[in-house]
Amino acid sequence: MALDTANQSGLALEIKTLRKSYGEVDVLHDIDVQMAEGEFLVLVGPSGCGKSTLLNCIAGLEETTGGRLFIGGRDVTEEPPKDRDIAMVFQSYALYPTMTVAENIGFGMKIRRVPKEQAKAKVDEVAKMLQIEQLLNRQPSQLSGGQRQRVAMGRALVREPKLYLFDEPLSNLDAKLRVEMRAEIKKLHRTTGASIVYVTHDQIEAMTLASRIVVLKDGYVQQIGTPQEIYEAPANTFVADFMGSPPMNLIPAQVTDAGVMLDGTPLQVSVPGNPAEVIVGLRPEHIVIDPESPFSVTPTLIENTGAECYVGFELNGKPVTARVPGRMDESRAEPIPVRFVTESLSFFDSESGVLLR
């Protein structure tokens, strides 16, 4: 299914210093985002960070307090939702219960008076893409949650708009179905080349789906980057702690002439700017069991998850988690020799929490 999203700017979406306030309460602060055509942009952050409000501003469901919005190179800041050339998939499927699947998918085309044969061909095409062609004559009450979500996506896909907006579409599904639908959405994006803005609080969804991620906290953009950039070089301790499962270990440490001190043992690494104190960022998979290492830790908790296990211990008085392959005896109490992958360490300012570069 080819999507015609050509525009002179080459941007599917541009947000310029967007602000949103409710009375005296500011919820979005000078948001600047540029999104190329065909990108899958994920807005992620904890509850109350402003991601759904930002999506609603893009859709025109919320008026902005300041700034400008461009979709397909066209200023839509003052335009109503119906004129913005968008399609939205909601957390609640919002299907018409008295209509069949085919009627739900094609309802928007019926309103726009698309010829019946053309509309039917489009419904059939989208249903085949979503693998729900055998469900077209059923009612929503006869469908599973995953099937209903496919129908909601199909209703958006027949529009072929400049921009698709997804508002936590998988949050009502069980864990197994979420994984399956996540793969379907990723495949769908690859097939159509659609420009998608996707809101989620689930950082695993963000990491697996996104071309780029916008991390939000308290209405401020914390970082914009590819999943790899955000995972390997988080802009601050909030991003480091939020993105990753388990999250990055954050360990306050002294920096001496001998190195970065971890439980009295110097780690010989160079720290940008040579500060006296630092927060060491260490991903769980970068703690490796190594019988040759002189450094050992005493486990406080061992959790076997199947192919790998999580080992909990303390460093500089802070709880730390290592992720190691295989299984371990959960009752083990003797020290474990470990090595840190020093080239993968991150260092953050001890006061501001900002990444030291």
Q: What is the pLDDT of residues 147-157, one digit of tens each?
A: 888 898 888 88
- Tokens for 25? 């309460």
Is residue 6 one of the residues assigned to a domain? no
Q: Which of 238, 266, 287 is the last residue of a domain?
A: 238
Per-residue pLDDT tens over the stretch 89-99 = 887 778 999 99
Beta bridge partners of 225: 213
Looking at the fold, whether 190 and 272 belong to one and the same domain comes out as no
Last residue of a domain, one of 213, 238, 263: 238
Residue 164's domain comprises: 11-238
The CA-CA-CA angle for residues 216, 45, 158, to 5°, reads 95
Q: Where are the beta strands (DSSP E) in 154-211?
A: 163-167, 196-200
Quote the pTM value: 0.89
Residue 65 near residue 20, CB atoms below 8 Å: yes
Domain match, 199 and 61 both? yes
Find the mean pLDDT for residues 302-306.
94
Average pLDDT for residues 263-282, to the nearest whole number?
A: 93
- Cα–Cα distance for residue pair 26/219, rounded to 1 Å: 8
- The answer to whether residue 7 scores a pLDDT higher than 90 is no
Q: Return the half-sphere exposure (C-beta side, CA atoms, 13 A cut-off) of residue 352.
A: 8
Strand partners, 276: none
Instruction: Tell me which of 185, 220, 238 is where a domain ends.
Output: 238
Question: How does residue 8 score in pLDDT terms, banded at 50, 70 and 90?
Answer: low
